[in-house]
């Protein structure tokens, strides 16, 4: 019934998530980065060749741009057009909180102040960086 | 009609009070399904009970009694349901019908908008669509048929989390899309529209589906405390981000449950609770049986009222011709059996 609840039976990385993760790294860093930097940011969880081929796939889809670096090879950056395109497509949804409550699944929602203190404590107790 | 006709209302109230608490104590996928099944059973049996109560009054209307070939007078005498109760039932049914249509229309419109937005992104964009905005925002947009669901995340959110925590975020939203949690939430809204006693259900299902996605994410990254940390960090970063209007405060249910989700993650894998599941299943069965019993009672009531039926020429319609003919034959036999 609930196959995905901590039985360890779930594959570590569902298909399609790899591209999302690499793209997320590029956006988070916000500057052109080399595949090695991406690999480092991901905490060496992926092989260099995996990062390379993922970046190539994203480039083919025009979701990232690449520029040659001085040392040879390429530096990759996310395509800004794509984010503007996303913003335009999502404007209506972002403006309608009513719909978001009903249809969209959000990661977190805002907190009352008393919960804020509690979360701070939990975060520190967990030794978060 | 005996007291049993009111049993589904009692069951609904009981489920509203204890259901969310019980469901929170088991794996969230099980809890979601169990609570929705129980809610659906309660809503359907409550509707049946309302219909039965309403029928006792509607059945007394001369025209209805003629069509149904029973005696309205006899129904009035045999029936323990007061006209006031029956009228309340009719009014409640009408209100529920309006609420159901309104809820369904609102959900359909919201879903249509989400699909439209997703379609506008086009096939080139991957599953992850990035908003270049400092606001802390992340949500999953459910897909239509032949479309892929999208995960929309702001750069503000991406920069708040580290790479591992971003993996948690992506796994969490992926779980929402894969398990189609918007369907669970829509069903919960419809159940509450059909059975207002189950008002706490949507908030409970909202929380349970969030927990479900959290558990999935924790399984994907194989680290519960990392998942808890990602959640806490995102929530803290988002705390000044949104000034909720009073209206959205009412409609956005998941508001204050982030600490609860974090604590649940840190508490360890939720235990399966076969006893709770068994008890709830038994209660559910009892609820369905009592509804069937109430239906039976009503059938008997109308059956008895049928014996008191006397066909009058004006009352005979196409639907009652057969009944009338039968009665005439009986009367003829009683007098002396000759025509």
| Per-residue pLDDT tens digits of chain B, which is 339 residues long | 577 888 899 999 999 999 999 898 899 999 999 999 999 999 999 999 999 999 888 888 888 888 888 888 887 777 778 889 999 999 999 999 999 999 999 889 888 888 888 888 877 777 898 988 888 888 888 887 777 788 889 899 999 999 999 999 999 999 999 999 999 999 999 999 999 999 999 999 999 999 999 999 999 999 999 999 999 888 888 776 654 433 322 223 334 478 888 889 989 888 888 888 888 888 888 888 888 888 888 888 888 888 777 655 444 455 555 665 665 666 666 655 444
Query: Which tokens sit at B41?
Result: 């059973």
Residue A97 resides in a domain: yes
| Model pLDDT, residue A112 | 73
User: Is the CB of A87 less than 8 angstroms away from the CB of B133?
Assistant: yes
Residue of A nearest to B207 (CA): A105
Q: How many distinct structural domains can be found in chain A? A: 2
> Does the residue A1 lie in any domain?
no
Kindly state whether residues A107 and A60 are assigned to the same domain: no
The H or E element that residue A65 is part of is: strand A64-68
Q: Do residues A72 and A90 both lie within one domain?
A: no
Q: What's the pLDDT at B316?
A: 47
- pLDDT at residue A31 greater than cutoff 70: yes
Task: Mark whether A104 and A73 lie in a shared domain.
Answer: no
Same domain for A87 and A67?
no
Same domain, A22 and A75: yes
The helix (H) or strand (E) run that includes residue A94 is helix A80-95
Same domain (yes/no): A22, A49:
yes
Which chain B residues have a beta carbon less than 8 Å from that of A12?
Answer: 220-222
The arithmetic mean of pLDDT across residues A35-58, rounded, is 89
Which residue range(s) make up the domain with A107?
Answer: 81-125
| Interface probe with A: pick from B132, B160, B271, most Cβ of A within 10 Å | B132
Q: Are residues A72 and A45 in the same domain?
A: yes
Backbone φ and ψ for B73, nearest 5 degrees, come out as -65, -45
The CATH number of the domain where A37 resides is what? 1.10.10.10
Place of tokens 């107790």: A125
Dihedral pair phi/psi, residue B140, rounded to 5°: -105, 135
Does residue A12 fall inside a structural domain? no
The answer to whether residue A8 is domain-embedded is no
Spell out which residues of chain A touch residue B129, defining contact as CB-CB under 8 Å. Answer: 82, 86, 89-90
In this prediction, residue B80 carries a pLDDT of: 74
Q: What is the distance between the alpha carbons of residues A11 and B127, in angstroms, rounded to a whole number?
A: 19
SS (H, E, C) B38-66: HHHHHHHHHHHHHHHHHHHHHCCCHHHHH
Phi/psi of residue A77, nearest 5 degrees: -140, 150
Amino acid B43: pLDDT = 95
Q: Does B180 touch chain A (CB under 8 A)?
A: no
Q: How far is the C-alpha of A99 from the C-alpha of B328, rounded, in Å?
A: 63
Q: Does B106 touch chain A (CB under 8 A)?
A: yes
CA distance B172 to A110: 18
Residue-level length of chain A: 129
CA distance A113 to chain B (A): 8
Judge whether A59 lies within some domain: yes
Distance CA B92, CA B325 (A): 38
Euclidean distance between CA atoms B212 and B206, whole angstroms: 10
pLDDT reported for residue B137: 83
Q: Return the minimum-mean-pLDDT range out of A17-26, A91-100, B290-299.
A: A91-100
Q: Would you call B238 an interface residue with chain A, using a CB distance cutoff of 8 Å? A: yes
Of A41, A59, A79, the position where a domain reaches its end is A79
User: Are A59 and A111 within one domain?
Assistant: no
CA max distance for chain B: 98
Unique residue bearing structure tokens 């609904």: B12
A108 part of a folded domain: yes
Out of A79, A101, A117, a domain closes at A79
Q: What is the band of A89 on the pLDDT scale with cuts at 50, 70, 90?
A: confident
- Gap between the Cα atoms of A63 and B294, Å rounded: 62
Report the residue from B138, B163, B248 with minimal CB separation from A97.
B248
**Is residue A50 assigned to a domain?**
yes
Q: Quick one: DSSP state of residue B180?
A: T
Cβ atoms < 10 Å from Cβ of B143? 18
At B140 the three-state DSSP class reads: strand
For residues B282 and B286, give the distance between their C-alpha atoms in angstroms, rounded to a whole number: 6
Judge: A30–B159 Cβ closer than 8 Å, yes or no.
yes
Say whether both A22 and A74 belong to one domain: yes
Task: Return d(Cα B113, Cα B117) in angstroms, integer.
Answer: 6
- The whole-chain average pLDDT of chain A stands at 77
Looking at the domain assignment, is residue A68 inside a domain? Answer: yes
Q: Say how many C-beta atoms besides its own lie within 10 A of residue A88's C-beta.
A: 12
Q: Are residues A27 and A72 in the same domain?
A: yes
């Amino acid at each position: 019934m609930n196959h995905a609840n901590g039985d360890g039976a779930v594959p570590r990385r569902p298909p399609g998530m790899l591209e999302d993760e690499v793209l997320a790294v590029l956006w988070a860093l916000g500057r052109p980065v080399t595949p090695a930097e991406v690999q480092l940011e991901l905490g060496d969880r992926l092989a260099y060749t995996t990062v390379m081929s993922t970046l190539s796939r994203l480039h083919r889809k025009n979701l990232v741009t690449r520029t040659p670096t001085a040392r040879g090879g390429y530096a990759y950056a996310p395509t800004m057009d794509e984010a503007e395109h996303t913003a335009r497509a999502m404007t209506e949804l972002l403006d309608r909180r009513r719909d978001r409550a009903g249809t969209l699944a959000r990661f977190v929602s805002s907190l009352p102040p008393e919960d804020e203190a509690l979360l701070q404590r939990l975060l520190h107790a967990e030794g978060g960086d | 009609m005996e007291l049993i006709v009111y049993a589904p209302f009692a069951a609904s109230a009981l489920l509203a009070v204890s259901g969310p608490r019980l469901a929170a104590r088991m794996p969230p996928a099980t809890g979601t399904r169990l609570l929705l099944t129980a809610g659906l059973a309660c809503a359907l049996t409550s509707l049946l009970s309302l219909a039965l109560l309403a029928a006792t009054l509607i059945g007394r209307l001369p025209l209805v009694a003629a069509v149904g070939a029973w005696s309205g007078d006899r129904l009035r005498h045999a029936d323990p349901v007061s006209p006031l109760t029956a009228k309340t039932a009719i009014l409640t049914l009408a209100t529920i019908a309006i609420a159901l249509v309104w809820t369904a229309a609102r959900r359909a419109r919201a879903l249509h908008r989400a699909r439209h937005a997703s379609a506008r992104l086009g096939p080139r964009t991957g599953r992850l669509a990035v908003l270049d905005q400092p606001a802390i925002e992340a949500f999953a947009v459910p897909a239509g048929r032949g479309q892929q669901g999208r995960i929309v995340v702001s750069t503000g959110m991406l920069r708040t989390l580290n790479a591992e925590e971003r993996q948690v975020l992506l796994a969490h939203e992926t779980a929402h899309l894969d398990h189609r949690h918007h369907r669970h939430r829509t069903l919960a809204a419809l159940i509450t529209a059909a059975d207002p006693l189950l008002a706490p259900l949507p908030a409970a299902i909202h929380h349970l589906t969030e927990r479900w996605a959290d558990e999935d994410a924790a399984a994907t990254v194989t680290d519960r405390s990392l998942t808890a940390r990602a959640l806490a960090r995102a929530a803290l970063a988002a705390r000044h981000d949104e000034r909720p209007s009073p209206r959205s405060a009412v409609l956005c249910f998941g508001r204050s449950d982030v600490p609860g989700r974090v604590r649940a993650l840190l508490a360890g894998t939720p235990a399966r609770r076969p006893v709770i599941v068994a008890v709830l299943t038994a209660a559910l069965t009892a609820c369905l049986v009592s509804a069937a019993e109430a239906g039976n009672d009503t059938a008997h009531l109308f059956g008895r009222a049928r014996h008191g039926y006397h066909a009058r020429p004006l009352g005979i319609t196409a639907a009652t011709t057969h009944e009338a003919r039968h009665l005439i034959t009986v009367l003829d036999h009683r007098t002396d059996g000759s025509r």
